[in-house]
């Protein structure tokens, strides 16, 4: 049991407009490498925002400020035991180049999610995956966006 320190925002790095199921994400993360997966014990995200703005819970948690071992997801190496992870479907263009592909529904859902999360856990730092890894994910500037929605950290 460790104190929650971060909310990390991700993208699935799938093409703009292409929906992805939780089963596909789970398989990509947990299948053995020999079967095209990453071989992780757990999926990388707590919650996923679909193209229509609906939010799907991928890994249960007890909604408190403690990350219990059964709540740990594999979203950002070195940060997983102290983080929750949210992902939106998309994040690349049709050529596979990073692009903010969030639909209006996803933007609204992510905004509500993050504002609620910040209200419940004001001491938790909210950041993009690219702030702790050499990746483009989530394909938009999270610190700038947080200021736009009224969160100053």
Q: What is the pLDDT of residues 41-78, one digit of tens each?
A: 999 999 999 999 999 999 999 999 999 999 999 889 99
Q: What is the pLDDT of residues 22-34, one digit of tens each?
A: 999 999 999 999 9
Q: How far apart are the first and last CA of the chain?
A: 25
For the chain, give the percent of residues with pLDDT over 70. Answer: 100
CA 13 to mean position of chain CA atoms: 11
Distance CA 127, CA 27 (A): 25
Domain locations in the chain as residue ranges: 2-147
**DSSP string of 82-132, one letter each residue:** GEEEEEES-EE-TTS-B-----HHHHHHHHHHHHHHHHH-TTSEEEEGGGT
At residue 130, φ and ψ (nearest 5 deg) are -65, -10
- Classify domain 2-147 at the CATH superfamily level: Peptidoglycan recognition protein-like (3.40.80.10)
pTM of the entire predicted model? 0.96
Q: What is the pLDDT of residues 87-119, one digit of tens each?
A: 999 999 999 999 999 999 999 999 999 999 999
Return the closest-CA partner of residue 110 out of 6, 9, 32.
9
């Amino acid at each position: 049991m460790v104190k929650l320190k971060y909310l990390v925002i991700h993208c699935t790095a799938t093409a703009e407009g292409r929906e992805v199921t939780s089963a596909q994400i789970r398989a990509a993360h947990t299948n053995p490498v020999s079967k095209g997966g990453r071989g992780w014990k757990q999926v990388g995200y707590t919650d996923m925002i679909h193209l229509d703005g609906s939010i799907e819970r991928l890994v249960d948690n007890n909604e408190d400020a403690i990350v219990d071992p059964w709540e740990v997801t594999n979203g950002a190496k070195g940060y997983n035991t102290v983080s929750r992870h949210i992902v939106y479907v998309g994040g690349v263009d049709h050529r596979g180049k990073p692009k903010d592909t969030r639909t209006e529904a996803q933007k609204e859902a992510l905004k509500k999610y993050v504002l609620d999360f910040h209200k419940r856990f004001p001491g938790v730092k909210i950041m993009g995956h690219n702030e702790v890894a050499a990746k483009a994910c989530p394909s938009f500037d999270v610190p700038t966006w947080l200021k736009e929605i009224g969160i100053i950290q």
